[in-house]
Structure 1
Amino acid sequence: MPARPLSDETLQLIAAVREALAHRDDVEERSMFGWFCFFVDGKWCFGVKREELLVRLAPEDHDRIAERPGVRELDPRGSMKGYFCVEPSAYATRAQWEEWIIAALAYNPSAKASPRRRTTAAKTSPDPKATSKTTSKGTGRKRHSIFESDL
């Protein structure tokens, strides 16, 4: 069955994660379990599904982070410590966005890498032209922002 087209909001969030990781040369993108995922240094770091950002953080901070508004555990049974789904309300400002990006990248060097499967899949990427349709109000410039203050 063919994959469904991604919404503009999803494409904007993927573009925002790409921009946040643009300074790195060790990023790989793949689709997994319905999420568009970003691997940094061979380790899963971020995911995007609809308007949710999935982040991997330090397991020892799990309980503290799980209590934040707009954040939920990936697995409510508690078997995936450190994996969180972040709703748009919890990354609506640049400060909130940067906090998630910095925390996930800070944890990444100490995260365990999953063994790589033998088959090498092609790098999956949504259509980059799809994000260029949206412009800032009245300016004619490309709007790529996911932040409320930029709308």
Structure 2
Amino acid sequence: MNQHLTPTGMAYDSHLAERITQLVERHKVSFYVKEMMGGITWMVDEKMCISIFKGNLMVRVEPDELEEFLGKPGATQMIHGGKAMMGYLTVSSEGYDMEEDLEYWVNKCLEYNPKAKASKKKKA
């Protein structure tokens, strides 16, 4: 695994990051990559779309399709602070190592993005 560090010292797989970037670019959407929550996140329309977090993907997908998504290899409900995060899944490497699997997750995140709500901006 090609490890790189974010400016705050969190490690992430640079090869995986490049694969995600290439897949997002194919969709010809405006995006940027942002360090957040100890990982890196691809932001589309100022909304979290997909992230690399602790060696896993964090994907933001259609909550109504949760059962279908949880049937995919490596996919589990994301839990934060003891609560299930609706519309967010964690996907381990077994669920994204193959190019078609990673492409599936990127596509699902980008499909949901226009419907996703942007988080409220924190006031400085």
1:66 is displaced (CA, Å) by 2.3
Q: Does 1:79 align with 2:90?
A: no
Q: Does 1:61 align with 2:30?
A: no
Q: Which runs of 5+ in 1 are unaligned?
A: 120-151
Provide closer, same or farther for how the CA distance between residues 94 and 86 of structure 1 changes in structure 2, counting only shifts above 3 A: same
Identity rate, percent: 25
1:19 alignment partner, one of 18, 22, 25:
22
Provide closer, same or farther for how the CA distance between residues 104 and 70 of structure 1 changes in structure 2, counting only shifts above 3 A: same
The worse-fitting range, judged by mean Cα deviation, of 69-78 and 97-106 is 69-78
Larger radius of gyration: 1
Structure 2 partner of 1:70: 74
1:5 is displaced (CA, Å) by 5.8
Question: Which amino acid is the alignment partner of residue 19 of structure 1?
Answer: Q
1:118 is displaced (CA, Å) by 4.7
In structure 2, C-alpha distance between the alignment counterparts of 1:117 and 1:6, rounded to whole Å: 26
Aligned residues: 116
Structure 1 partner of 2:3: none
In structure 2, C-alpha distance between the alignment counterparts of 1:55 and 1:97, rounded to whole Å: 11
Provide closer, same or farther for how the CA distance between residues 101 and 3 of structure 1 changes in structure 2, counting only shifts above 3 A: same
TM-score (norm 1): 0.66
Q: Does 1:3 align with 2:5?
A: no
Provide closer, same or farther for how the CA distance between residues 28 and 67 of structure 1 changes in structure 2, counting only shifts above 3 A: same
Q: When you count strand as a share of all residues, which structure comes out higher?
A: 2
CA-to-aligned-CA distance 1:7-32 (integer Å, 9 cap, x gap): 5xx11111111111224352122111
Structure 2 partner of 1:105: 110
In structure 1, C-alpha distance between the alignment counterparts of 2:79 and 2:101, rounded to whole Å: 23
The worse-fitting range, judged by mean Cα deviation, of 23-32 and 99-108 is 23-32
SS in 2 for 1:82: strand
RMSD: 2.2
Structure 1 partner of 2:4: none
